[in-house]
Amino acid sequence: MDEDWEGRDRFAHGGDTRRPVPLPEGVDCFTIGATTGKSRGDLRGLLLGDGLVPLASALGRHTDPRFTLAFPDSRRWISPETGHFELLSRTEVYERIHAWLAG
């Protein structure tokens, strides 16, 4: 939100003053996370995520429950052995999106 950063020095030390923002009401929201690991709990995936975004973040999860996004489990999906930029070209990612949209 604009109020979370406007008028603040981005280099100044201070507490996290962001406010939680939930998923929009009346909109079906989905999330796909990638992991370089072979499975969800793989140490490589836990440490590296997809090489850019940690898996928990990609799935809308946060250590502070106020910031966790309420994606239903049926609308969360993980692509194993996938780097961040590979998400754009993976057949299984396309198939997952297509299945969701086809309902």
pLDDT tens-digit readout, 3-54: 777 888 878 887 778 889 999 999 999 999 999 988 767 777 777 789 999 9
Whole-angstrom Cα distance, residue 77 to residue 29? 12
Whole-angstrom Cα distance, residue 99 to residue 103? 6
Give the pLDDT confidence score for residue 83 in this predicted structure.
94
Among 86, 60, 65, 53, smallest CA distance to 75 is for 60
Give the pLDDT confidence score for residue 10 in this predicted structure.
78
Give the pLDDT confidence score for residue 66 in this predicted structure.
94
Alpha-carbon distance values, 92 to 1, 96, 98 (Å): 34, 6, 10
Q: Which residues of 26-44 are buried (b: 16+ CB within 10 A; e: fewer)?
A: eeeeebbbbbbbeeeebee
Contact status, residue 38 vs residue 80, Cβ threshold 8 Å: yes
